Amino acid sequence: MTPLSILELVRVTEETNARGALDNARDLAAHAEQWGYRRIWVAEHHNMPGIASAATSIVLAHIAAGTKEIRVGAGGIMLPNHSPYVIAEQFGTLARLFPDRIDLGLGRAPGTDQLTLRALRRSPEAAEHFPQDVLELQAFLAPAGPDQRIQAVPAAGTDVPLWILGSSQFGAMLAAELGLPYAFASHFAPDLLIPALDLYRSRFKPSAQLDRPYAMVGVNIIAAGTDAEAHRLATTQQMSFANIFRGARGLSQPPIDDIDSYWTPMEKAQAMRMLARSIVGSPDTVRTGIEALVKETRADELIVVSDVYHHAARLRSFELIAQAAGRAMFPSEALAAAGS
């Protein structure tokens, strides 16, 4: 059966602060490994008051320390923001602290706005070097050669599994060329999902990390006892998207009864296009949606966003999703693919 994983947004809400969001993420991870989720990832975002995962490697250490088995990783690190050497040091350290549990997903988008890019000292041309930066990072994570004068200590030899993240065909081509697992961000950019997966699979070249294509599909899923209750919970995410279009990225807001009273017709059209592949409803609705998505995409794994406002309701959503997918526990055999 198709494994499930979690993309944790580390949301700061109108009723929590950043510390609360970080502790909620750790608590979710502890529950998730009991429910059989394969991995939990967090993403690098900057200058967003509603997301507390800017210092991504530190957040991952916090989550991993509160869990025992679930894989923990970045989904992802925006590599053009950083020196590959520093990222190797950070994730190599995580790998030493939490052996065989760390993933490193890599993206080339900035994860922020143009003004913040200046504060990050990010060159406008940095994204153009993304493929070379991935190779450099991979080399620093590999065992050091006998005459290698610059080593990423203690990263050398950890071989932290790398993933390529994407929402377009560029990432698909790069992942295929490098023989790496590929994660598509269809939870906010669904338009090119099928073409990107087809391109990745058709051009894949085996590598030391991976001998066959391995594709993970991002999907928004919100589950509750009834369809109506789930659709009400989904208004939190819908308001977040409307706020993005307004240039007003703020704190996560509690659900409302009538989303049409919040957004304009244009905002609704924009948001629903980005959320087109969302699965929202009762366990039966969720199960049907998951089955259809896996059949259409042939996904090797799904990574789930369940952007629910109240922590207890979010936990319940993830629990119901696991049950709906028939994944109370994962198979005992490890997945050789994707470094799992």
4-339 has which fold?
Answer: TIM Barrel (3.20.20)
Confidence check: pLDDT of 340 > 90: no
Segment 89-109, tens digit of pLDDT: 999 999 999 999 999 999 998
Evaluate if pTM is beyond 0.85: yes
User: What is the distance between the alpha carbons of residues 335 and 340, in angstroms, rounded to a whole number?
Assistant: 5
Backbone φ, ψ for residue 24 (5° rounding):
-65, -40
Cα 283 to its chain centre, rounded Å, is: 23
Domain spans of the chain, in order of start: 4-339
Query: In this structure, what is the dihedral angle of CA atoms 301, 236, 318, 175, given to the nearest 10 degrees?
Result: 20
User: What is the distance between the alpha carbons of residues 260 and 272, in angstroms, rounded to a whole number?
Assistant: 12
- Average pLDDT value for residue range 312-325: 97
- Average pLDDT value for residue range 302-319: 98
Segment 98-138, tens digit of pLDDT: 999 999 999 998 767 777 877 887 777 788 899 999 999 99
